[in-house]
Amino acid sequence: MHLDKKSIQDLDKIERLNLINSVTGVKPANLIGSHSEDGHSNLAIFSSVIHLGSNPALIGFNVRPSDEVRRDTYENIMATGFYTINHVHNSFIQQAHYTSAKFDREESEFEKCGLTAEWMEGFPAPYVKESRLKLGMRFVRAIPIDLNDTALIIGTVEHIYLPDEAFEKGGHLNLEALGDTGISGLNSYYSLKKMDQFPYARPHELPDFNK
């Protein structure tokens, strides 16, 4: 099969949406927790969380701000400056997926989807208690992407919570041990299996690939 630009554009809207969301491969599944100034907790699943730098520790994710459609995650972060990023595990994929439903602003996705809001260390945004790896984030900057009216939200990592057994030598995380989940497209979920681990790549230390 070969799809050129016109063929892609001519696809049914939903078919094109699913295809383009899938072609980048499996992405991390994360729940982003936030809290409004008037006391409403929000939780939403995202597959666009990316590493932007380690010193300072910066993480980004893509969101679509809109004056026409309510975007609670974006609005809460802009208002309070804080949010959490929580890994999704195989044990609660279904609950995590349904946080994407369009609930009323006063309704909490935590309660509707059977997940537990957890408040720790006085941090002003809720974590997901069921998640074994969670980050407390402080908003730094929103970079508009004019081509599709989205924005890259950039935050600094203020807190990391994870089980000791998942933290391996050299700072590596064992995501298989955590039971982490990946997303392809908008609604297909994959479990993660660690295949191998290699040293830092240096030109003079290449293996013999011709064996």
CATH code, domain with 107: 2.30.110.10
Domain enclosing residue 110, as ranges: 27-194
Residues of the chain with pLDDT under 70: 65-70
Per-residue pLDDT, 69: 56
Per-residue pLDDT, 66: 64
Per-residue pLDDT, 70: 65
7 in any annotated domain? no
Per-residue pLDDT, 32: 97
17 in any annotated domain? no
171 in any annotated domain? yes
The model's pLDDT over 108-132, given as tens digits with 9 standing for 90+, comes to 999 999 999 999 999 999 999 999 9
Query: Could you tell me the pTM of the whole model?
Result: 0.92
112 in any annotated domain? yes
Q: What is the residue-wise DSSP string for 115-135?
A: --EE--TT-SS-EETT-SSEE
206 in any annotated domain? no
5 in any annotated domain? no
14 in any annotated domain? no
Per-residue pLDDT, 186: 83
Per-residue pLDDT, 104: 87
18 in any annotated domain? no
Q: What total number of domains does the chain contain?
A: 1
